[in-house]
Structure 1
Amino acid sequence: MALEQFSDVVQRCVTIQDGNFSSADFDLFQTVGQTCIEQGDSAQVLSIVIDEKNKNIVRCMGWNLLEPLVKVLLKKEDKNLPHCHAILTHLLEVCSPKELLVGLLEQIEQLDSGVIAETIILLLKPLQTVLLKLGRKKASSVGMALSTLLSQMVRLPVPLSKEQEEDDVFGLCRCCVELLGFVSPFVEEIKADARDSHGMSRENELRVEILKFCMKSLCEPLLEVQLKDADTLEKSPLRDFATGILVILNSIGESLPNLLGHSILRKREVPGFLEEEVRYPKESLASMAHLLFVQHIAMDIFPENLSTQELYEKTLVRLENSSLPVDLLDLKTFFSVPQVMKNVRCRINTLFPHFRCMLKTSGHAGVEGYIIKNIKNQTDFALKPGNGNEWFLGKHLLPLLQQVLCLPQGPETDLLHNLDRIMESLNLLRYLLIRDKEWENETGIWTELYKIEDNYLKPLRTALNMSRAHYEAELKRNKENTTGSKSPVCTVSLGSEKIPHMTPEMQTQVLQSALFTFDLIESVLARIEEIAEAKGRL
C-alpha cells in the first residue's frame, strides 16, 4: 500500500511545472517514502529515485528520506543496506547541498545517547561531500557542522584507563579519528589559498572556523583526557587526535610558541570576526600547553631553537599585574631563574622581542635600566661597519626607543625611584645623537627627535623642576625645624623590626643627596639639548 502511494505521489508530481510542489506533496512524499524504507521496500524506492524522469522531484524532495535511511543504515545487519546506501549516494548527487546539510545536521542533533558514535561515523563522509559542494561560500556551514559534531561528541564518556581506550565502548576514540579525516580537505584548502595569495590571511573565514574547531577540541574533549604515552599504549587514538589538532593549528598559520605567550588576561578588540578571548579561550591554551610540555605531544613541529630566554619571555607576558604568587618562593628552582637568565646567550633577533617584553612587564627601574644599557650596547654593535643588524636600527629600533624614552607617570613620575631607568635612557639618547650622524640617520633618531622632545624631554624637565622645588622646600623646612634639636624626627619599622631613628642630620643628607641626583639628571639633559641645538633641531 505504502509503495503504491509513493509511486502515485511521484507520478503526480512529475506533471507539476517548475517544482511548485505544495506542502501536502512534501508531507506525503516524506511519510510514504519513510514507510516504504522501514517496511523493507528500499529496492523499489531506489528504482523510483534513480529514474531520470523523476530527477526534478528527487532534487526538491529527496532530502526528506534521510531520516529513514539513517535508521536502516545504523542496523548493519539489515538486508536492505546496499539499496539504502545507493539511495543515499544518489541523493548526495542530485539534491540541493544546502537542504542536505540541514537534513544531515538534524539527524546529528536529534541523536539518542546510545547511537551517538555510530551516527556520527556514518554521516561524516556524506556531510563532507555536501560541504565540499558548497564551493567558496562554505565557511559558515563548515563551522556549523563542526560545532554540531563536537556538541554531540562531548556527550560521550571519556576513556580513563588504557583498557577503556582500547575497548572504546562508547566510540569517542573512533569519532576523534574520523573527525580528523573529515576536516582534512578544508585544512588543505586553507593551505592552498595561502600559497596562492603568498601568505596566510588570519581573517580567511574558513581558517577562522577551523581555528574555532581546534580551540573547542582542545577544551573538550582533550582537556579531560589523560593521555597514555607510547610505552603504555602503543596505538592511542586520543593521542593521535591531540597530535592532529596541534598539527592543524600549525598548518593554518598559528605559531605554537606564540600561542603559548598569548595575552589572554588583557581583553582587546582586533580586526576581524572574533575578539581575541573568543579566538583563544584560556582553557584551550592551557590544554595546549599541557599537551606540549607535559604529554610532549607534537614536539616535532615545535621549534627546537626556542631558547630558555624565549620560554621565559612567553611566561612574562602572561603575568597579571606584573606580579607572581608568593607561593613561588617555596620553590628552589624559582631562585635559579636570575642566574639562568644571566647565563643565557642567544641570537640578536631574539634579544629584540625579549627587551620589549621585559620593559613591558618588569616594573622595576633597576631591571629596566639594565635592559636599556643593553639596548645601547646592541645599537653600538649594529652601527659598527660590517655588522648591520637591522633589529637595532631604523624602523625596528624606533618602537623600542618609544618604550624607553618615556616617563612612566609623566611629569609626576618619582625621579628618584626611577633613577636607573631615567639615567640609562638619557645616556642612550645622548649616545645616539653623538654617534649617529644626522645625514646618515641609521637609527632614525633624528627623524623622531621632535617627538622625543615633546613626549620625553619636556615632561622630564617639568618633573625635574617640580622635584627640585619640593626637595629644596623640604630641606629648608627641615633646617628650620631642627635647629638646635637632637631629637629624632621619625621612627621607621619594617614588620616587627624597628629601624634606627633617622636624625635631622641624616634627613638633611638624604635631601641633599636627592638634590645632587637632580643636578646629575639636569647635566645630562642639558648636554642632550646642547647637541640637538647645535644641529638646529631643538
Structure 2
Amino acid sequence: MALDQLCDVVQRCQTIENDLYTPEDYDLFQSSARKCIEDGDIAQVLSIIVDEKNKNIVRCMGWNLVGPLVQVRLKNEENNLPHSHAILTHLLEICSSKELLVSLLEQVEAANQDAITETVMFLLQPLQKVLLNFGRKKATFLGMTLSTLLDQIARLPVSSMTEQQDDAAGLCRWCSGLLWFVKPFVEEIKHNYHSGVVHDEELRTEILKFCMKTLKEPLLGVQFTDPDQLENSFLCEFSREILVILCGIGEPLPELLCHKLLKKRDVPGFLEEEVRYPRESLANIAYLLFVHHIGIETFPVVLSPVFILQCNMEYVELLLSRTEESHLQRGLDLYEKSLVRVEDNSLSVELLELKTFVSIPQNLVKVMTQCPVHRLRSKGLSVFQLSINKFNIEAKYKFLRCMFKTSHHSGVEGVVIKNIKNLVDFSLRPGNENIWFRGINFLPLLRLVLCLPQGPETDLLQNLDRIMEALNLLRYLLLRDKECDNETGIWLEVHTIHDRFMKPLRLGLNMSKAHYQVELKNTQVKDRNKENDSGAVCTITVGNEILPNLTPELQIQALHSALFTFELIESVLVRIEEIMETLP
C-alpha cells in the first residue's frame, strides 16, 4: 500500500514543471517513503531515489528521509544497511545542503539517552560532508553544528580516568569522533595561515569556541587522579589534541594564559573577551600545562616562576571558588605546582596588594574547613603552608596577621600561630635578625594572638587549637627569650598578658571544668537509674548546645574526654604560671 502511494506521488510529480510541488506532495512523499522504509521495502525506495527521472523530486523532498534512514542504522538490520547507506549517500550528493543540515541536526537533538553515542557517531560523517559543501560560507553552520554536538555530549556522564578503559557511556568515542570531525576545518585554517592567504576569521573563531567549550565540558570534570594511568588515558590524549589545535589556529598557549599580564590582546568589550576566552577553559589549560605538563613544550622556559604564578592565580581563584570535587582538585594541584617552582622566602610583600593573593588563601580556608572530602582538606592544608613558605619575612608577617584576623576558625588560627612561633624561632637565631618577628613590630601581632575571643566565656573546646598553640607560643617565648635579652619584647608585656589572657583563661577553665563535672555526675546518676534499660538514651546540654542522643555510656565517655582536654590545657597553663611567678 505505502509503496503504491510512493509510486503514485512520484509519477504525478514527474509531470510538474519548475518544481512547483504542493505541501500535500511533500507530506505524501515523506509519509509513504517512511512507511516503505519501516516495512522493509527499502530496496524499492532506493530504486526510486536513484532514478534520473526523479532527480528533481528527490532534490526537493529527499531530505525528509534522513530520520527514517537513521532509525534503520540504529536498528542495525544487516539486510537493509547497504540500501539505507546508498540512499543517504545519494541524498547527500543532490539535496539542498541547508535542508540536509537541518534534518541531520534534528536527528542529533532527538537522540535517545541510550542511543546518543551510536546516533551521533553515525551522523558525524554526513554532517561533515554537508558542511564542506557550503564552501566559504560554512563558518556559521559549523558553529551551529558544533554547538548542537557539544550540547549532546554534555548529557553523557564524565568518567574518571580509571573508568575510561571501559568507556561504557561512549565519551571517549565521542571525543575521538569530534577530533576527526573538525580536522578538515582546522587544516583549512592552518593552510590559509601558512600560505599567507587571508583566512576566514569566522571559521577560526568557531574552532576556537569549540576548543574552549570542550576544555570546560567535559574535560574540566575529568579526574586525572592516577598519574600511573595518565599516559593510557584517552581523555588525556584528547586534551593534548585540543591544545595542539589551539596552537595550530593561531592561539599560542602562553598568550592565552598570560594575555592579561602581557597585554598583547585587544578584544573589544568585556563580553567578547569572556565569550572567546572563558576563564574556566583557560583555567583548565593552565592545569593541563603545569600539573600534567600536557603541551608544556610550547611554553617558554624563560618566563620566571613568579610571573607564571601571577598568571595562574586568577585560574586558581576561579577553581577554588567552586564546590565540585574536580574543580577543587584542579585548583589545589595548579596552585601547588605553581608554588613549587618559586624559591622559598622570595615573594615580596607587594604581591599581597593583588586581590588574588588574599582571596585564594581565604578560599583555601574554606576547603580546609568545609570540604567534605578528607583528601582535599589535607591537600588544602599542605598547599596553604607551602604558600606561606614562599613569602619573604615581611610578607609572611602581614599575611599571617591578615589570616589570623579573617579566618574565624580555631584550626586555621592554630596553624597561623604555629607559623608565628617557628618564625620567631628562626628570627632569634644568629644571622636571621629582622624587624618583623622581634621587637616593636612583633608586639601587636603577639597581643592579637594572646587573647580569648569571648573572654572567660570562650568555648574552650571549640577554640582548643588556637588556645593550645597560643599557650605553646607564650611558653616558648618565656623560656627562649631571656629577660636580660628581651629580643622579642615579651618581657615588657608579661603583666598585660597575665591580665588579658592568663587570668580570663584560668577563670574560663575553672568554670568549664566545674560545669562538665556536674554534667558527668548527673549523667552517671541517670545511667545507674536506667541500668535495667540497655537501650536507654539521654541528652545533655553543654555550653548552651544539646549533645546528640547517645547512650549514657557514650555520653560519659564524651564528658571524660572533655575533662581530659581541660587538664591538658591546665598543665600548660600551670607551667606558664610557674615561670611568671619567678618575675619580680
TM-score by length of 1: 0.58
Q: Which amino acid aligns with 1:190?
A: I
Quickly say closer, same or farther: Cα 1:320–1:83, change in 2 above 3 A: farther
Instruction: Classify the secondary structure of the residue corresponding to 2:164.
Output: helix
Task: Quote the residue 2:17 is aligned against.
Answer: 17
Q: Which amino acid aligns with 2:70?
A: V
Task: Quote the residue 2:170 is aligned against.
Answer: 171
Residue 100 of structure 2 is aligned to residue 100 of structure 1: yes
Give unpaired runs (5+ residues) of structure 1: 340-492, 499-538
Give unpaired runs (5+ residues) of structure 2: 316-350, 365-382, 394-442, 449-584
Task: Quote the residue 1:206 is aligned against.
Answer: 203
Task: Quote the residue 2:509 is aligned against.
Answer: none
RMSD: 3.1
Residue 280 of structure 2 is aligned to residue 283 of structure 1: yes
Quickly say closer, same or farther: Cα 1:307–1:322, change in 2 above 3 A: closer
Task: Quote the residue 1:56 is aligned against.
Answer: 56
CA shift at 1:10, angstroms?
A: 1.1
After TM superposition, list the pairs within 5 Å mapping 1:51-200 onto structure 2: 51-162=51-162, 164-197=163-196
Counterparts of 2:150 and 2:84 in 1: how far apart (Å)? 27
Task: Quote the residue 1:390 is aligned against.
Answer: none
Given that 1:33 and 1:65 are in contact with CA atoms closer than 8 Å, whether structure 2 keeps it comes out as yes
Quickly say closer, same or farther: Cα 1:228–1:234, change in 2 above 3 A: farther
Given that 2:161 and 2:233 are in contact with CA atoms closer than 8 Å, whether structure 1 keeps it comes out as no
Quickly say closer, same or farther: Cα 1:279–1:338, change in 2 above 3 A: farther
Residue 385 of structure 2 is aligned to residue 331 of structure 1: yes
CA shift at 1:14, angstroms?
A: 1.1
CA shift at 1:99, angstroms?
A: 0.7
Q: Which amino acid aligns with 1:325?
A: V
Task: Quote the residue 2:27 is aligned against.
Answer: 27
Task: Quote the residue 1:253 is aligned against.
Answer: 250
Instruction: Classify the secondary structure of the residue corresponding to 1:25.
Output: helix
CA shift at 1:325, angstroms?
A: 1.5
Task: Quote the residue 2:223 is aligned against.
Answer: 226
Counterparts of 2:287 and 2:152 in 1: how far apart (Å)? 25
Quickly say closer, same or farther: Cα 1:316–1:233, change in 2 above 3 A: closer
* Structure showing greater relative contact order (alpha-carbon pairs closer than 8 Å, 6 or more residues apart): 1
Given that 2:230 and 2:236 are in contact with CA atoms closer than 8 Å, whether structure 1 keeps it comes out as no
Counterparts of 1:250 and 1:310 in 2: how far apart (Å)? 21
CA shift at 1:16, angstroms?
A: 0.9
CA shift at 1:298, angstroms?
A: 2.4
1:216 equivalent among 213, 217, 220? 213
CA shift at 1:289, angstroms?
A: 1.2
Percent sequence identity is 56
Quickly say closer, same or farther: Cα 1:171–1:77, change in 2 above 3 A: same
Instruction: Classify the secondary structure of the residue corresponding to 1:170.
Output: coil
Instruction: Classify the secondary structure of the residue corresponding to 2:158.
Output: coil
CA shift at 1:334, angstroms?
A: 4.7
Counterparts of 2:5 and 2:270 in 1: how far apart (Å)? 50
Given that 1:174 and 1:237 are in contact with CA atoms closer than 8 Å, whether structure 2 keeps it comes out as no
Counterparts of 2:312 and 2:240 in 1: how far apart (Å)? 23
Counterparts of 2:2 and 2:154 in 1: how far apart (Å)? 39
Counterparts of 1:239 and 1:156 in 2: how far apart (Å)? 17
CA shift at 1:308, angstroms?
A: 2.8
After TM superposition, list the pairs within 5 Å mapping 1:437-476 onto structure 2: none
CA shift at 1:62, angstroms?
A: 0.5
Counterparts of 2:142 and 2:176 in 1: how far apart (Å)? 18
CA shift at 1:258, angstroms?
A: 1.7
Quickly say closer, same or farther: Cα 1:44–1:305, change in 2 above 3 A: farther
Quickly say closer, same or farther: Cα 1:228–1:317, change in 2 above 3 A: closer
Q: Which amino acid aligns with 1:136?
A: R
Partner deviation per Cα, 1:489-527 (whole Å, 9 max, x = no partner): xxxx967879xxxxxxxxxxxxxxxxxxxxxxxxxxxxx
Quickly say closer, same or farther: Cα 1:123–1:272, change in 2 above 3 A: farther
Instruction: Classify the secondary structure of the residue corresponding to 2:165.
Output: helix
TM-score by length of 2: 0.54
Quickly say closer, same or farther: Cα 1:169–1:336, change in 2 above 3 A: closer
Counterparts of 2:276 and 2:94 in 1: how far apart (Å)? 37
Partner deviation per Cα, 1:275-330 (whole Å, 9 max, x = no partner): 10111111111111111122222223334444435424534788997232173995
Given that 2:161 and 2:229 are in contact with CA atoms closer than 8 Å, whether structure 1 keeps it comes out as no
CA shift at 1:262, angstroms?
A: 3.9
Counterparts of 1:293 and 1:34 in 2: how far apart (Å)? 54
Counterparts of 2:12 and 2:135 in 1: how far apart (Å)? 34
Counterparts of 1:334 and 1:305 in 2: how far apart (Å)? 25
Q: Which amino acid aligns with 1:254?
A: E
Given that 1:6 and 1:33 are in contact with CA atoms closer than 8 Å, whether structure 2 keeps it comes out as yes
Counterparts of 1:272 and 1:177 in 2: how far apart (Å)? 35
Partner deviation per Cα, 1:168-194 (whole Å, 9 max, x = no partner): 111111011110010001111111221
Counterparts of 1:270 and 1:40 in 2: how far apart (Å)? 56
Residue 349 of structure 2 is aligned to residue 322 of structure 1: no
Counterparts of 1:136 and 1:320 in 2: how far apart (Å)? 51
Counterparts of 1:298 and 1:322 in 2: how far apart (Å)? 28
Larger CA deviation: 38-47 vs 309-318: 309-318
CA shift at 1:263, angstroms?
A: 3.6
Given that 1:227 and 1:238 are in contact with CA atoms closer than 8 Å, whether structure 2 keeps it comes out as no
After TM superposition, list the pairs within 5 Å mapping 1:450-529 onto structure 2: none
Larger CA deviation: 297-306 vs 49-58: 297-306
CA shift at 1:195, angstroms?
A: 2.4
Quickly say closer, same or farther: Cα 1:330–1:225, change in 2 above 3 A: closer
Given that 1:247 and 1:301 are in contact with CA atoms closer than 8 Å, whether structure 2 keeps it comes out as no
Q: Which amino acid aligns with 1:290?
A: Y
Larger CA deviation: 190-199 vs 235-244: 190-199
Structure number with the higher helix fraction is: 2
Partner deviation per Cα, 1:307-363 (whole Å, 9 max, x = no partner): 435424534788997232173995345554669xxxxxxxxxxxxxxxxxxxxxxxx
Given that 1:228 and 1:236 are in contact with CA atoms closer than 8 Å, whether structure 2 keeps it comes out as no
Instruction: Classify the secondary structure of the residue corresponding to 2:185.
Output: helix
Q: Which amino acid aligns with 1:175?
A: W
Q: Which amino acid aligns with 1:90?
A: H
Counterparts of 1:284 and 1:89 in 2: how far apart (Å)? 38
Task: Quote the residue 1:455 is aligned against.
Answer: none
Counterparts of 1:321 and 1:29 in 2: how far apart (Å)? 71
Larger CA deviation: 65-74 vs 2-11: 2-11
Instruction: Classify the secondary structure of the residue corresponding to 1:253.
Output: coil
What is the total number of aligned residue pairs between the two structures? 341
Counterparts of 2:297 and 2:279 in 1: how far apart (Å)? 24
After TM superposition, list the pairs within 5 Å mapping 1:384-403 onto structure 2: none
Task: Quote the residue 1:397 is aligned against.
Answer: none
Given that 1:59 and 1:96 are in contact with CA atoms closer than 8 Å, whether structure 2 keeps it comes out as yes
Counterparts of 1:261 and 1:320 in 2: how far apart (Å)? 19
Counterparts of 2:107 and 2:12 in 1: how far apart (Å)? 29
Given that 1:34 and 1:68 are in contact with CA atoms closer than 8 Å, whether structure 2 keeps it comes out as yes
CA shift at 1:11, angstroms?
A: 1.3
Given that 1:291 and 1:297 are in contact with CA atoms closer than 8 Å, whether structure 2 keeps it comes out as yes
